[in-house]
Each structure stands twice: as C-alpha cells, then as structure tokens.
Amino acid sequence: MSVDVTPLIPAGRQVVESYGPGGFRVSGIAYQGAILVFTEETRPWSVTRLGDITAASLAPVIEHANIEILLLGCGARMMPLAPELRQALRDKGIVVDAMDTGAACRTYNVLLSEERRVAAALLPAK
C-alpha cells in the first residue's frame, strides 16, 4: 500500500511542476527564463541574475495586495539579498526568504497548499 503525499492545491492555483537550467513548468505551461509566480498567475520576469533584482523589478510583488511571503529562488545556490532591498520589502509587509531555486519551488508549493499568501521570484537554476 502506498500513501499519496502530494499536497492538496485548490483549483485555479499556480503550481510549480518542474524547473531546469532554462526555465520552469507551472500549471502545465512552460516558461523560459526567470518568472514571478503568484497564487493566481505566473508571468515572465526580466531579471537574469541576482544582481539585477531591485525594488523596481519586484514592483509587481510589492504592489500585489495579498503577499506576505516572497520566496526568492537565486539559481543553483542561495545568495544573500541586499539588506536595503530586504528592508524595502519588509516596509511593505513582505518577508523575503532567499534560497536556491529548487528549494524555492518546493517551498512555494507547500506554502500554497497551506493557503498562505505567498509569491515566488525564480531565477533558473543554471
């Protein structure tokens, strides 16, 4: 007998199904390059490396009315986020957690299944 441990995700939510060197598959749609994943939509993100991330590049997250946690997938390995950017997000009520992209994808799906107010900003794992 086997036990299904797949998280139960409400219908209409964006689930990260896979990731690789060039992009992602989210809820059946393939994306090349970096993406922003919200519970209700996924969109391309113009950032190509961690150093390109600014408050302006994260404006869609900051302006979203319903985000409390931002998971930042840094690529193949976790890198620290600039303290001023972390503080800018905190000032908007958003806690950011930087980690490698694989961990960010998995954590996003778990928090989504818990119906947390989460978003993910994901750089491809190279």
- Residue 97: the pLDDT is 95
pLDDT higher at 117 or 4: 117
Structure tokens of 40?
A: 């209700």
Cα atoms in the 13 Å half-sphere on the side-chain side of 31: 25
Question: Does residue 7 have a pLDDT over 70?
Answer: no
Distance CA 115, CA 100 (A): 22
- Residue 119: the pLDDT is 98
Domain boundaries, the chain: 33-122
pLDDT higher at 8 or 35: 35
Which of the following CATH numbers is that of domain 33-122: 3.40.1230.10, 3.40.50.720, 3.10.20.740, 3.90.550.10? 3.40.1230.10
Stretch 116-126: mean pLDDT: 94
How open is the CA angle 71-37-39, to the nearest 5 degrees? 100
Give whole-number Cα distances, 68 to 24, 45, 46, 51, 119, in Å: 23, 20, 22, 23, 8
Stretch 51-79: mean pLDDT: 92
